[in-house]
Amino acid sequence: MVLLKNLRPPTEGVRHEQAETTAVMNGQKLGCGTLYVAETRLLWFDGSGMGFSLEYPTIGLHAISRDVSAYPQEHLYVMVNGKLTGENEADMTEKAADDEEDDSSNSSCGDDDDEEAITEIRFVPSDKVALESMFSAMCECQALHPDPEDDDSDNDFEGEEYDVEEAEAEHGHADIPSFYTCDEGLSALTQEGQATLERLEGMLAHSVAQQYHMAGVRTEEANAEFEDGMEVDASAMEAGQFEDADVEH
């Protein structure tokens, strides 16, 4: 198996770096090195600069394995679609595409890549606690590389904020309710709306007075004067309660 040589750490976008990590590819130990989880690609190489890199679109899944009965050490499992030739990533992705094309010409329903080769890679860090960070970093980076060939999702979003009001104006209907500011809202009320508003405000004022009796909590006294119910009833305190507070305690 051919591996790349003279690999160097990525210069930017490194979400996680894990030293003392052994890489095992399809069961074969490649040695101990450093794993770089970068936004552009996944990179692993040993002290001599020999290793490999993975492009996120080729990664099918990744996982944390803590089941030592399945594999003797806790590790990060990565499944790559296609075979890693090691020459360069272009080779690998082309190979995967070729596999797909062969399959679709052979099988009756075109888009299943049934027998596509996969590569299983295990990253075994000496520090097992780091597995969660390694996993999370990969999740984040994977999410940065959505499938460009995905025809199903409606990707006509062009980078502008989706403005609800603009969309409503275009489509001419407002079945999605919007909120109004106070001034806008008042002027938009019909007579019926106005009456409803007055009734509701009356109910609200009335219910605040009952606030202190709610939920079975006994308090000093209910004071309907304070409409927002937020103020403390100062008269409940004993006179001179704080007179003996001595600043020099």
Partner 1 sequence: MESEGTESPLSGLVPVAEVFNSIRERTIAENSMVVLLQGLQGEVTTVDLRNECTARGRVVNVDAFMNVRLKDVLYRDRRGKLTRLQDLFITGRNVRYVHIPDHMDIMKTIQSQLAKIHRVRNFASHGGGRKEYSKKK
Residues that bind partner 1 (CB under 8 A): 57, 59-67, 70-71, 77, 79, 81, 112-114, 116, 118, 132, 135, 138-140, 142-143, 146-147, 149-150, 152-155, 157, 159, 161-165, 176-181, 184
Nearer to partner 1, 161 or 244 (CB): 161
- Tell me the CA end-to-end span of the chain in Å, nearest whole number: 78
Nearer to partner 1, 70 or 214 (CB): 70
Residue 12: CB minimum distance to partner 1, A: 15
Q: What does the DSSP 8-state code read for residue 58?
A: G
Nearer to partner 1, 71 or 212 (CB): 71
Nearer to partner 1, 2 or 117 (CB): 117
Residue 17: CB minimum distance to partner 1, A: 19
Nearer to partner 1, 110 or 146 (CB): 146
- How many angstroms separate the most distant Cα atoms in the chain? 94
Residue 71: CB minimum distance to partner 1, A: 8
Cβ atoms of residues 56 and 141 within 8 Å: yes
**Sequence-separated (6 or more) residues with CB below 8 Å from residue 213:** 222
What is the spatial distance between Cα 224 and Cα 157, in angstroms, rounded to a whole number? 53
Nearer to partner 1, 87 or 114 (CB): 114
Buried b (16+ CB within 10 A) or exposed e, 21-42: bbbbbeeeebeebbbbbbeebb
Residue 194: CB minimum distance to partner 1, A: 19
* CA 6 to chain CA mean position, Å: 34
- Cα distances from 201 to residues 185, 207, 231, in angstroms, run 15, 10, 19
* CA 166 to chain CA mean position, Å: 28
Residue 170: CB minimum distance to partner 1, A: 15
Residue 226: CB minimum distance to partner 1, A: 26
